[in-house]
Amino acid sequence: MKNMKKIIVLAVSLLVAGAAVCFGQNESAIKGRIIDRKSGEPVGFATVAVLRADSSVVAGTMAEEDGRFELKAAQGPSILKVALVGYKDIEKDINVSGQILNVGELALEEDLLALEGAVVQAQLPRTELKGDAVVTNISGSVLEHAGNAQDLMAKVPGMIRHNGKLEVIGRGEPVYYINGRRVLDPDELRSLMSEEVRSIEVVNNPGAGYGGEIKSVVRIKTIRRQGEGFSFALTSEAKKYLKTKDFDPSWTVLDLNYRKGGVDFIGKLTYWDNHGYQCSDIWEEAYIPGTLYSQEGTMDVRQHAGGLQALFGINWQINENHSVGFQVQNKTQLFGNYKETVEEDVFMNSLLTDRLASVNDCNMLKSGGWLGNVYYSGKVEKLEIEFNTDFQTNDESNRTVIEESSQVEPRHIKSDVDNSIAMLASKLVFKYPVGKGQVQAGVEETYARTWQQHNIDFAEIAPSESKIKENTIAGFAEYSLPLKFGQFSAGVRYEHVDFKYNDISGTNDLDRKQDNWFPSASFSTKIGQVGISASVSGKTMRPGFWKLSNEVQYHSRFTYQTGDPTLKNEKYIDAGLNVNWNWLTFSATYENIRDAIAQSGYPYGDDGVTMLKYVNLDSPINVFSAYLVAAPTKGCWSPQYTVGVRKQFFDLEVKDIRETTGTRTVGYNKPMFVVQLNNSFRFKKSWQLSADYMFQSKMSYGAAEVTANRNLLELSVQKSFLKDDALTVRLSAYDILNCTPDNAFVDYGQFKIAQNNDYKSPAIILRVSYHFNTASNKYKGTGAGDSVKIRF
């Protein structure tokens, strides 16, 4: 405990000293490497400080994952001090001169007494700005006991939970990376415990190194564990729905690792068994010349799906500068059912004409595929090299039977849908110091194929079969330059896309080529204790492959749906600003969106049927978002309070023959307000309590209106047991207020639809995790083809 207090005092002193010497003169560099005295292995994340004779701290930093550190300090006789929980402090007399001082290897010796009694009291500011990211330091804070990575990110500044998914405020769902490797499996975020996380970086305007379609990125860095032999982690979660009384086994993940020398054998088994519920009040209105059709009723949806996923990989860290590896995983859905029951009254010109009752029963016949990665990561003198090759396949078949009773015309409709996807992608990236900065450049090539076949025994809808071939070649370059007053980065990404669409009729065949340039620039600086960063970039969002299909889907007697292979890409201009002081963080973003993709509705025939179709909107959408986060720490209490606003400016002109001009304007300009109050309490004996509340107001989002406020309250209690907190039990009460409706309204001109949705989300959740001899994943494959994967 005494050792811990010294580290905390030292770390606080570093913050003060860092501000004092921000613009210091006559400084020289000090570098070295920290190792474990017993094993000789590198030790990461130690606090390194330069002290004067009176013990005042004049400079400091945190060692990197590989134990290396570098910092600058004013010239003169000094003391170099290294501290890390579980090790004895070391001090070394140094003389800082005009030359680079290399202190070599510093060996830390374990402090067993400190390990036995250490209780971390997180008193340091957890959030700071580093380059393009808002960085939250997890290790050593109350957040390191938040639960799994998903629980943790819900408490990170700039992120909120929406409909069970995590989003970056104003930027939607992000792309995740763990230690530079793209996360494609959500189970990885479930099984990664917060105690294994070093820091989380939220990037709300990624640069040229990322695909032109990636709007936000969350980078997770884990703590490097030493040691060899066998290790595993088992995490399981079960859920009891309070409104439906159903029990959900949810998911179980088993992570396995065997390390010998520089080789890791990696394995993972995942089983999931999930339910989903939706109860909705629905209203639709369609105007056909002379007749106003409308339907009012209810919809009840029940979903149940389960499956098994297996992963195997080998990672070989040849030496400090070179590593290679591969991973391959298979995902098989064992069962899946979607059942939708709709009851509604049908009106013509306000007169009741029919009562419909339909049951849509969809069963998964088969679903499964493969995903793999091969990588090399190396360093030759100053040149860093990363090479990745990824592949992905998936085949799926579904059968849907619709039984529709009617006072006018009952219907029995059966349809079969078969889908197949395949992708191969490679990416090569180089990093090299040029001048005082660093150049990062790379090339990426992706081949994507999709095939879809739809057979339906309904005369009004023709069977369909379509194929898509898309080849993408991309190149990018980015230069980062540290300056006396900050850091500047600029880059550009070029993408050439060859797109071919073919359908069974041959009438909708399409062959087009697209060339796009995406520039980006960012600047960050620190003035005293205030960190500031600003960025601007150009991006695009290509439509998901399912939006490009001309398959016509039968939803109900009055609603069909289809896609459009001629859809254009959405184009974005993004600008962002981040400001951080102590425990306060402010972020603001501006977005200009052209050719935005949204669903539109139009009459299909003259009997009241409406066709929903994806279209490009004619008018641009301008969106401004801003939020302020306060994350102080008061003893065992660690609050994080967020207030934010999202405001879009968008007027849509819709066709409506009832107007004298044939059109009218619909405004989607309502702002969204967000309030998030997260509270964590860390007590002795490894107890932790959390009370999290979020308010989200009504708003306009794209070409739709969210018509109800949301209030989400979650309470949880967590206790760890055994040595090193190896066993953790977490009990949560989710959506206690039962006040998270998802209500929406859209106006397509002659067609309008409103839907009030209740997802029956209140639940009691039990999660148990056990970790044995945990070893961090040394796999360094970063993946390729990211911008295509998110579109499947």
For residue 568, the 8-state DSSP code is: P
Say if CB 153 and CB 166 are below 8 A apart: yes
pTM above 0.85, yes or no: no
**Three-state DSSP state, 15:** helix
CA separation, residue 413 to residues 74, 294, 365, 562, 608 (Å):
80, 23, 17, 18, 19
Angle (CA) 674-680-684 rounded to 5° is 180
Instruction: Please report the beta strands in 528-685, taking only residues with DSSP state E, as ranges in sequence order.
Output: 530-541, 553-556, 559-562, 570-581, 584-594, 597-603, 610-616, 621-630, 637-649, 651-655, 663-667, 672-682
Largest separation between any pair of C-alpha atoms in the chain: 95
The predicted structure's pLDDT at residue 125: 37
CA–CA distance, 734 with 167 (Å, rounded to integer): 18
* Spatial CA neighbour of 607 closest among 360, 358, 339, 406: 406
Find the distance separating the first CA and the last CA of the chain, reported in whole Å.
52
- Does an H or E element contain 188, and which? helix 186-191
Which positions of the chain have pLDDT values less than 70?
1-27, 45, 53-58, 60, 65, 85-86, 111-126, 131, 140, 142, 162-164, 169-170, 184-187, 211-212, 224-227, 774-792
Residue count of the chain: 792
| CA-to-CA dists, residue 452 to 421, 467, 564, angstroms | 9, 7, 14
Distances, alpha carbon 379 to alpha carbons 179, 263, 387, 551, 784, in Å: 17, 18, 12, 49, 20
Residue pair 510/500 in contact by the 8 Å Cβ criterion:
yes
Chain mean position to CA 275: 22
Rg of the chain over Cα atoms, rounded to whole angstroms, equals 28
Looking at residue 779, its pLDDT comes to 57
Q: 586-606 burial by CB neighbour count: b if 16+ within 10 A, else e? A: bbbbbbebbbbbbbbbbbbee
pLDDT of amino acid 11 = 40
